[in-house]
Amino acid sequence: MRQSGIVAAAALHALEHHRDDLRTDVERAAFLARALQSTAGFSVDMASVQSNIVRFEVEMDAGDFASECYSCGLYMLPSGQHGMRAVLHRDLEEGDVGTALEIMKQVVSGSQNP
């Protein structure tokens, strides 16, 4: 099977077996985006949040932000000097998004001990 077929098969499986999980991921992403948008040190283009992916800007260097979040157990990808990309997925538990948000707030404020 070609690579595109493998990706298509995975997408089809997700739609057939995890539709509710996908909906929950999108809702959690929207919650995270709204919370970040209302927090000093973060900026989110809310119109771009239409899936389980949240792209946002941080005032500090994105690489440093990602590294400090990683040291607290939160994994995200930097994108450019201030851009970040967070992907929410079905393995998250209730409350994990809140925990992630607290870690991000503490890293931006300079206190890394969540």
- pTM summary value: 0.83
The Cα 30–Cα 81 span in angstroms is 24
pLDDT of amino acid 17 = 81
Local mean pLDDT, 10-residue blocks, the chain (114 residues) = 78 82 90 96 95 96 97 95 94 92 95 56
CA distances from 33 to 10, 81, 88, 94 (A): 26, 19, 11, 16
CA distances from 45 to 19, 29, 36, 41, 74 (A): 25, 13, 10, 14, 22
Q: How many residues does the chain have?
A: 114
Fold annotation for 19-109: Aspartate Aminotransferase, domain 1 (3.90.1150)
Spans of all domains in the chain: 19-109
Burial class (CB in 10 A: 0-12, 13-18, 19+), 55: middle
